[in-house]
Amino acid sequence: MLHRAIILAVVLGFALTAFGGSSLQAQNSSSQESTTAPSPAIAAKIPKPAVPAYHAEPPRGALPDTLDPAQFQDAQTRNIYTLAAKVKPVLYQQPCYCGCDKEVGHKSLLDCFTDYHGAHCILCKKEAAFTYSESQQGKTAADIRKEIIDGKWKEVDLAGYDTLPAAK
């Protein structure tokens, strides 16, 4: 009985070592492969993620108001809603990459700031801050949209919006 238990333990040990080793080797080779860029021919066949909803043209009529920034207690949200109100026509022409177009029916980044969604979504805040900053540099809505699609909004550091301006 003891002899069988020892043999079983040895066989089980070999099996676990063989399985664990091949699994680790597979993980290592797949992680190496994932850091290597695909060839141009393969890259051309990889589908690009769909661009979320946006309006390609400037608005033709009045746009809805963004929510009043004064209602927000935290400085960052108040500041971002303040900026959003200043660039509504540009936000109207931008996609939002948080998925709100599919989840809540938003048609552009502006919609995130006409309701409370933008108050709770870091992605929306980053995209709005990016849009405002780029528009202040004279970029067009189409230029900003290309940069948003390219993911440049991800570089925005929201910490700079964490304090309120001094009262005048």
74 shares a domain with 152: yes
Q: Are residues 39 and 6 in the same domain?
A: yes
pTM for the predicted model, two decimal places: 0.71
Is 125 in contact with 158 (CB distance < 8 Å)?
A: yes
The parent domain of residue 87 ranges over 69-161
DSSP result, 128-163: HHHHHHHHHTT--HHHHHHHHHTTGGGG--GGGGSS
The alpha carbon dihedral of 13, 15, 17, 20 has a sign of: negative
What is the total count of domains within the chain?
Answer: 2
pLDDT tens track for 82-138: 999 999 999 999 999 999 989 999 999 999 999 999 999 999 999 999 999 999 999
Is residue 13 assigned to a domain? Answer: yes
